[in-house]
Amino acid sequence: MERLKIIIITGLSGSGKSTALAAMEDAGFFCVDNLPVALLPKFLELQVQTVSEVTRFAFVMDLREKGFLSRFESVFKELETQGFAFEIIFLESDEDTLIRRYSETRRHHPLSEEKGLLNGIRLENEILAPLRKIATRVVDSSNLNVHELKALIHKLAAQETQKKSLQISVLSFGFKYGIPRGADLVMDVRFLPNPYFIPELKNQTGLMAPVRDFVLEKVQTLEFLDKFLDLLDFLVPQYEREGKAYLTIAIGCTGGQHRSVAVATHIHEHLAGLFQRLSLSHRDIDR
């Protein structure tokens, strides 16, 4: 089953959440307004268990549900532990814009009953601050009309739909020249037997059969690869599910010409059968 694409739309009352939801619906998302946050895990669980062509969902959640503020944090953490990846779009507008919109529509702000409109807006801004901090994207609709906001949200929905899979880079390097900047996983293979001390192999690289065979056929290497590839088979899908865009796996030996090159090449060959967006480079092979 295709991984579910989930977008939570929230934010200040009067900032355009209904317009945003309509844009999501136009973009092909299954949309639900004012779903109680406590029901979200069960809703998604049923979708996973049911054979359905629907894989894109957008939910508006806000202060209209009294238990939203006290429950959203625990619910979102629960979804993350279950492996669901989702984005939170937080909509806001400045005070003058919100006051004008409420005056034009003659609607009541959910927190204005006792405190008045302006104080209600300020209170909502204050109590939603923790949610704003964890939002994936904050959209200020102050200077946007309905059509402009809808176009912006539609564009965001299209980006989410067309999001590319994880880009994996496998890189060999030499520790004597420093650890590569931006490496996510760094593995030191200097514990493996070193071809550099074999006269006939010293001036060759890990791309050449004699060196590669020397490195990969050793008992230590076979045992290491069995464990490390098993770890990668577990880790990489987790990173992809979490929404990571890039992953760099750096394999290092002393000079970056023999052991790391052979091992990195072997890892690349293994991952090539599992992932499409994959590259291999040898930073220090020509030093």
Sign of CA dihedral 236, 245, 132, 18: negative
User: For residue 259, how many other CB atoms are within 10 A of its CB?
Assistant: 31
pLDDT number for residue 236: 86
Who wins on pLDDT, 224 or 53? 224
End-to-end CA separation in angstroms for the chain: 47
CATH of 5-161, one of 3.40.50.2000, 3.20.20.120, 3.40.50.300, 3.90.1150.10: 3.40.50.300
Judge contact between 58 and 17, C-beta under 8 A.
no
DSSP class of 2: P
pLDDT number for residue 1: 43
CATH 3.40.50.300 in the chain, residue ranges? 5-161
255-275 mean pLDDT: 91
Angle at 178 between CA 175 and CA 182, to 5 degrees: 115
34-42 mean pLDDT: 89
Q: 74-86, pLDDT tens digit by residue?
A: 898 888 877 787 8
Place of tokens 């293979």: 189
Cα–Cα dist 98/15, whole Å:
7
The greatest distance separating any two alpha carbons of the chain, rounded to the nearest whole angstrom, comes to 87
Cα–Cα dist 101/125, whole Å:
16
Q: 5-31, pLDDT tens digit by residue?
A: 889 999 999 999 999 999 888 888 899
63-70 mean pLDDT: 84
Q: Is 156 exposed, middle or buried (0-12, 13-18, 19+ CB in 10 A)?
A: buried
Find the helix or strand (DSSP H, E) in which 219 lies: helix 219-242
CA-wise closest residue to 245 among 164, 135, 128: 164
pLDDT number for residue 2: 53
The Cα-based distances of 202 to 80, 162, 175, 212 in angstroms read: 49, 48, 18, 12
> pTM of the predicted model, to two decimals?
0.55
Question: What percent of the chain is modeled with pLDDT above 70?
Answer: 93
Over 60: is that where the pLDDT of 163 sits? no
Who wins on pLDDT, 51 or 258? 258
Cα–Cα dist 228/231, whole Å:
5
Over 70: is that where the pLDDT of 165 sits? no
Amino acid at residue number 89: I
Amino acid at residue number 242: E
Side by side, the strands of the sheet bearing 246-253 are 185-188, 246-253, 167-174, 278-282
